[in-house]
């Protein structure tokens, strides 16, 4: 290396040292430190809490006990005693079919039964004094049994023509009209016992590990959204 090169290198080093001394003497912070401000840190105590897993599903409510109320025998409707959506009690009359012929027959059979019972009582008294034969007494007793059986049959027909709610609940939409001829087995209205309901819904296989017997479910109905 020649003398000229050595003098140039010495000049560069002297310049760098002079600049560094001037910077330190002025008290100015390094440029890199000014570019990175201090980071604020918030401290909190860690707390252990249970993690709730939630599974959502859509479904529908179904009454445990629900039926289609239907006529047991054919007849013309003379009275409709309910409205659609009405809440009814067990045994409440819903529809009355024409039972005028059966009512007239019941009156006749009641009179016939009363007469047969009078004849039987008289025959027993006469038989006690041997005034009539045992056969006559037996015939009188048979007449009472026959009249009583026929009366019970007619009363059963009358009861079938008075269609009543089999249990308490809420009715659906009425399907019949006044004066309509109703066939045997024809549906009149649906009836559901709303005091006990089932929730029918389906979950995917991935939710099976999270479901167990006795688990409490939160149910929200669209008509009352926000109320569990």
State the pLDDT at residue 124: 96
According to CATH, the topology of domain 99-160 is: Helix Hairpins (1.10.287)
Token pair belonging to 124: 């027993």
Q: Per-residue pLDDT tens for 142-181?
A: 999 999 999 999 999 999 999 999 999 999 999 999 999 9
Q: Record the pTM.
A: 0.65
Residue 88: strand pairing partners:
169
- Summary count for the chain: helices (H), strands (E): 4, 10
State the pLDDT at residue 6: 46
For domain 58-97+162-202, give the CATH number: 2.40.50.100
What's the rounded Cα separation, in Å, for the pair 93 and 87? Answer: 12
What's the rounded Cα separation, in Å, for the pair 125 and 137? Answer: 10
The reply to whether 99-160 shares the fold of 58-97+162-202 is: no
Q: Per-residue pLDDT tens for 25-47?
A: 555 555 555 556 777 777 778 77
First to last CA, the chain: 93
- Are 202 and 55 in contact, with CB atoms under 8 Å apart? no
- Helix (H) or strand (E) segment spanning residue 111: helix 100-128
- Every domain of the chain and the residues it spans: 58-97+162-202, 99-160
């Amino acid at each position: 290396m020649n003398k000229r090169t050595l003098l140039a290198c010495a000049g560069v080093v002297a310049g760098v040292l002079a600049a560094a001394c001037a910077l330190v003497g002025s008290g100015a912070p390094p440029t890199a430190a000014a570019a990175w401000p201090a980071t604020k840190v918030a401290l909190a105590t860690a707390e252990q809490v249970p993690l709730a897993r939630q599974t959502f599903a859509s479904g529908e409510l179904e009454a445990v006990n629900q039926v289609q109320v239907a006529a047991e025998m054919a007849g013309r409707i003379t009275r409709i005693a309910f409205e659609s959506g009405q809440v009814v009690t067990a045994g409440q009359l819903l529809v009355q079919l024409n039972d005028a012929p059966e009512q007239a027959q019941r009156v006749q059979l009641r009179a016939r039964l009363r007469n047969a019972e009078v004849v039987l009582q008289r025959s027993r008294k006469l038989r006690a004094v041997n005034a009539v034969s045992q056969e006559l007494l037996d015939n009188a007793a048979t007449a009472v049994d026959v009249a009583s059986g026929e009366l019970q049959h007619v009363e059963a027909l009358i009861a079938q023509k008075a269609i009543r709610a089999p249990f308490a609940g809420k009715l659906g939409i009425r399907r019949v009209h006044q004066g309509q001829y109703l066939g045997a087995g024809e549906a009149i209205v649906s009836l559901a016992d709303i005091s006990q309901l089932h929730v029918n819904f389906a979950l995917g296989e991935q939710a099976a590990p999270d479901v167990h017997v006795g688990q409490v479910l939160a149910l929200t109905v669209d008509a009352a959204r926000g109320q569990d």
